[in-house]
Structure 1
Amino acid sequence: MLHKYKPGDNVSAADAADLSSLLERHPDSAAKIGMGIHHFEVQAADYSSQCFRVVRPDGTWARFSYKACIAPSV
């Protein structure tokens, strides 16, 4: 899913629903989600890669790794 978008793109509503469920599994989900989710975007990251970021209703945002969401808890 990540690579069907380019940095700066907003994620579609259908993909946002999946990302919302995925983000709930992040170890820091409460901090990442904060006051809620307005939308998701794709952002350029280190080493010519890209990542997702959650944008909150107040315009603040947080990057997150989908890998952290799917990693087994220890």
Structure 2
Amino acid sequence: MNHKYKVLRSDIELFAAALSQVRVYVVQSLSEDKVEVVAYGGAVEKIMPESIKINGSYFFRNQFEFRVGVKKDSAGI
């Protein structure tokens, strides 16, 4: 099964996710074609220059990727 997702990179995208209270999940790249889901996440609680707080935990922006699921008929965030 192929899941559709949008990677949240900019402060604006993260802010929009926080406002809409969508579930953001955190992944870490293991290799070019493999990723590990680190946290199935929740709403963005705090956005800082170096980290993001999601569901009570802090994640460094330069070590993780932040994703939201996208429906087929949706343009995403």
**TM-score (normalizing by structure 1):** 0.34
**TM-score (normalizing by structure 2):** 0.33
Q: With a CA cutoff of 8 Å and minimum separation of 6, indicate the structure with the bigger relative contact order.
A: 2
